[in-house]
Amino acid sequence: MVFVIKRVYDQAEASDGYRVLVDRLWPRGVSKARAELDLWDKDVAPSPDLRTEWHQNRERFDEFAARYLGELDENAAARELVDLGEKHDRVTLLFGARDEQVNHAAVLLEWLGEHGASVDRGD
80-105 residue pLDDT tens:
999 998 999 999 999 999 888 889 99
Calculate the average pLDDT of the chain: 93
Q: Do 3 and 112 form a contact (C-beta atoms < 8 A)?
A: yes
34-61 residue pLDDT tens:
999 999 999 999 999 998 887 777 778 8
Q: Do 123 and 23 form a contact (C-beta atoms < 8 A)?
A: no
Residue 119, domain member (yes or no): no
Per-residue pLDDT at 25: 94
Q: How many domains does the chain have?
A: 1
Residue 120, domain member (yes or no): no
Q: What share of the chain is helix, strand, coil (3-state, %, to 5)?
A: 45, 15, 40
- Its domain, for residue 20, covers 2-114
Burial class of residue 44, CB neighbours in 10 A (0-12, 13-18, 19+):
buried
Residue 123, domain member (yes or no): no
Answer yes or no: is pLDDT of 123 > 70: no
Report which of residues 117 and 69 the model is more confident about. Answer: 69
Query: Nearest 5°: phi and psi at 46?
Result: -60, 150
HSE toward the beta carbon, residue 67, CA cutoff 13 A:
15
